[in-house]
Chain A
Amino acid sequence: MTPAFAPFLAWRYLLTRRINILGVCGVAFAVWAMLVVDGVFSGFVTDIHEDVRRSSPPLLLTDLPHDTDYEPLRKVLEADRDVIATAPRLRQHGMVMPFSPRDRGRRPAGSEQLEFDHTRNGFALLLGIDPDRERRIVDFGAWLDGGPAAIARYGGIRPRATAPVQDDPERRRRLQVDDEQEWRARRRAGLPAEDDPADHRSIWPGMLLGWPRVFRLDWVQKGDPFEVLVAAFPRHHAGGPLLRPCSERFAFAGWFGTGHRMFDELTALVPIDTLRQMLGESEFDEDYVELVTDVAIRPRDGLSPADLRALQRRLRAAAQAVLSPDCAPCSVLDWRQQNTTLLAAVDQEHSLMQIVLFVVMLVSAFVIYATLHMMVVQKIKDIGIVAAVGGSPRGIGTVFLLTGTIIAVLGTGLGVLAGVLSAMWLNPINEWIYRISGGRLELFPRALFDLQGIPCHLEPSWIVTVSAFAILLAVTVAFVPARRAARMHPVTALSFE
C-alpha cells in the first residue's frame, strides 16, 4: 500500500528541483546511445546474417566422402516429408584465368595472399550447380541481381548482367550465353568464328563469377572466354587415384552477389555436368556417377527450430545409411553452421560493442544515484517533517524510490523517442553531412561496409530490453538512497542542519 503523499511529494520534488533534469538527461542520453549504436551495429550484423543466410542453402548435407553419387542421396532425402527439394553441388579448387590471346601481361596468380582478398590471384572455389534445381533451394535470381547492384554501388558503370535465361533447358543447364555474344567474344579474342553471327551456335559452358572478382577484371565482357584449371583424381585409374590437371574453356556468363563477402570473392559458379566431366566422369561411361560433394536441401516452410533440428538429425541418419558404412560421418548443417568462422568473427565484435554500451548504462545509473543521493541529503529535514505529520518510513522511502523511477521512466521515454527519431533520420543526416562537407566527412563510412545506406535495425524487442534494463537499473540504484531515507530517525532528521 503506497500512501498518497509518496507519489505527490515525489512528483513535486521532481518538478521543483532542476537538478533532476540532469538525471533525466543522463538516462535519456544513455538510452539513446544504446539504441542508436546498437541499432546500427545490429543493423550491420543483421545485414551480414541476412546476406550469409541468402548465400547458403537452408540445409546442406556435407562432409561426404569422395566420389559420392547424387541419385541415391536424392532419393532418401526427398523421401522425407519435410523436404521440398534438393540440389546437387560439387566443390573443387581451381584456377580461373581470363583467356587472353594478346597477352596483356596479366597472369592468373600473384602473391596476393598477404591480403585477405582472394580475387587477385585467380584462385577460385569452383561450385558446380544445376541451375534449375538450385533455383528451388536458394534465391538464385537475387544472387544474379546482387552482382550488378554491388558493382554499381562502387561506381562501376556496367550493363546489368542478365541472368542466363535460356528457353532451351539444355543450354540453361550449361549456363550458356547467347550465340551472338559468344560469336562476338570469339571475334574479340581472335578465336576462330563463322563470318556470319547467325551461323554460330555457342558451345562454351557458362561461368558466373562473384562480383568482387569481376570488379578486378575490369575489362571483361559477357561471353569472354576463361580458362579453368582443376586437378582431377579419376576413379577409373587402375593404379589408384591419378592426379590430372585438366582445363576447360568457359564463357563469362555474368556475375552474382550474395553479400557474403567470402563467398562472393572465392566462388565461381559453373555447370555441374561440365565440372563432373573435368573431374573424369563422363555421362557415356557405364558406371557414371553424378558426383556431388554436398547436397543443398530446402525444407518445408514453417518448421520450428526444434523440428528443423530433428529434420537435420533424420536426414543425416538417412544419408549415412546410403553411404558406405566405413566412411567418416557426414553432416547436415543449417546456414549458421555452414558459416561458423565468419559469424563468430562478427559476433565477437558485436559483443565487444555491447560491453562498451553496458559501461555507458552503468555510468548513467551513477547519475541517477548521485542525484537521488544528494536529494536525500538535502531533504533530510523534510523526512523529519513528513514523519512528524505522520508519514511512515515506508512511505518516505517510496518518495525517493518513486522519484528515481520517474526520472528513469522519463529519461527512458525521451531516449527511446530520440533513438527512434535518429534511427529514422540517420541516413538523411549522414547524407546531409556528406553533402555539406563536400564528401569528406561521413558519420559511417558506407563504402567500407559495402552498404547502400546505414542499416539501422531498431528491433522492438531491443527497445523493450533496453528500456526495461534502464528502468530496472535506475530503480535498483535508487533503492540505496531510498532505504537510507526510510531508515533515518525522525528526530535526527528534524534537528539536522
Chain B
Amino acid sequence: MTAVLQARAITKSYAIGKREIPVLRGVDLDLHAGEKVALLGASGAGKSTLLHLLGLLDRPTAGEVRYDGRPVQDLSVAERALLRHRQVGFVFQFYHLIPELTALQNVLLARMMGTTVFGYWRQRRRARSAGVAMLEQVGLGERLHHRPAELSGGERQRVAIARALLAEPRVLLADEPTGNLDSETAQGVVELMFSIQRERDLAFLLVTHDEQLAARCDRIVRMKDGTIQGSRPGDVQPEDSAQAD
C-alpha cells in the first residue's frame, strides 16, 4: 500500500536579505491512511514549514511532495488549492477562524471552496445539514451561530476541527492544536481528534511539543535543524525531550 502523502528529499530555504537560511535539509516522510504520526521537535526545527509544504501551502526548494504517489510540484496554483481543499484539513494552534463569520459559517466556508456559486446554491441545504452535523459531532450543536469572539478557546479549536473535516479530507495536519489550551480542554480536543481520525481512517500528522501526546501516536518523527532524526513508534529520546519545551 502506498502512502497517502509522501515527502521525498525535501529541502526548503528562505531568503532573508541576501542570505539563504535553510530550514529543511532533505526530509523524507511517509504518511499512510489510518496512521497517526507525531512530529516532535524544538522551536525552529522546521516542523511548521514541513507541515505547510505537506499541506501544499508552500513549495519546497527541492524535493517532491506526492499525493497517492503523484508529484504535485508541477500543478498550477489553482490545482494545488483544489487538491488542498479535497485532501487536506488543517488545524492550527491559533484556530485561525474568520472573526466575521459564525461557527457554522466558518465551517461552511470549507464547503464553498471547490464549487461555483450555482453549484453551492443547488446543494446549500445538504451543505448546511452537513455543517450542522459536523459541529454537533464536535460537540458544538448549541453554539452554531456564535462568532469566534463569543467562544472559548477549546470551542474555537473544535470549530476549526469541524471546518478541517467537513470536506472529508484524507489527511489531517494539526499544528500544535492544543498549544494554546489548558490541559483539561486540550485533553478533550485531542480525544475528539483521535476519535474522528479512527472513525474516518485519516492520515494524521500532529505537530506537538507534548511527549505524552506524541506517545499516543502510532509513530513519532523527530526533527532537529531541518532533518528527521528518527521515526520509531513509541520512541522517546531523553535529550530531545529536554530541548522540546
Contact = CB atoms under 8 A, between A and B. Distances in A.
Q: Touching in the complex, A and B, CB below 8 A?
A: yes
A389 B159 CA distance: 13
Q: Is the interface of A mostly helix, strand, loop or mixed?
A: helix
A386 to B, nearest CB: 7
B101 to A, nearest CB: 6
B163 A12 contact: no
A26 interface: no
B167 A390 contact: yes
A494 B114 contact: no
Given A389-B163, A393-B81, A17 B100 contact: yes
Interface string B119-153: 11100000000000000000000000000000000
Nearest to B105: A12
Contacts of A392: 77-78, 81-82, 113
A448 interface: no
A242 interface: no
B113 A490 contact: no
Interface string A1-32: 11111111100110011000000000000000
A148 B209 CA distance: 97
A16 B100 contact: yes
Given A389-B110, A395-B113, A12 B81 contact: no
A390 B101 contact: no
B82 A388 contact: no
A345 B233 CA distance: 91
Say which size band chain B's interface belongs to: 35 or more
Contacts, number: 98
A490 B58 contact: yes
Contacts of A17: 100
B204 interface: no
Contacts of B58: 489-491
A390 B165 CA distance: 12
Contacts of B90: 388-389
A212 interface: no
A83 B215 CA distance: 103
A2 B119 CA distance: 10
A1 B116 contact: yes
B77 A8 contact: no
Given A12-B100, A384-B96, A395-B113, A4 B119 contact: yes
Contact of B57 (A13, A381, A491): A491
Contacts of A387: 57, 81, 84
B57 A390 contact: no
Contact of B116 (A4, A9, A16, A394): A4
A12 to B, nearest CB: 5
A391 interface: yes
B110 A390 contact: yes
A244 to B, nearest CB: 87
A51 interface: no
B113 A393 contact: no
Q: Which of A2, A4, A12, A17 has the most CB of B within 10 A?
A: A4
Interface residues of A, number: 31
Nearest to A486: B77
A382 interface: yes
Contact of A5 (B52, B77, B78, B112): B112
Interface in A413-469: none
B21 interface: no
A391 B55 CA distance: 13
Contact of A8 (B55, B86, B112, B164): B112
B64 to A, nearest CB: 19
Contact of A490 (B57, B98, B109, B163): B57
Interface string A473-497: 0000000000000000111001000
B45 to A, nearest CB: 16
B203 to A, nearest CB: 17
Given A381-B96, A390-B167, A7 B117 contact: yes
A384 B163 CA distance: 15
A385 interface: yes
B113 A390 contact: yes
Contact of A13 (B92, B100, B120): B100
B119 A385 contact: no
Contacts of A9: 98, 101, 109
Contacts of A13: 100
B85 interface: yes
B112 A3 contact: yes
Contact of A394 (B78, B92, B105): B78
Nearest to A391: B113
A5 to B, nearest CB: 4
B115 A391 contact: no
Contacts of B92: 388, 494
A9 B105 CA distance: 9
Nearest to B97: A385
A388 B84 contact: yes
Contacts of A3: 112-117
10 contacts: A4-B112, A8-B105, A9-B109, A12-B101, A385-B97, A388-B92, A389-B164, A392-B77, A392-B78, A490-B57
Given A4-B115, A13-B100, A389-B109, 10 more contacts: A4-B111, A8-B112, A17-B100, A384-B57, A385-B98, A386-B109, A388-B90, A395-B81, A490-B52, A494-B57
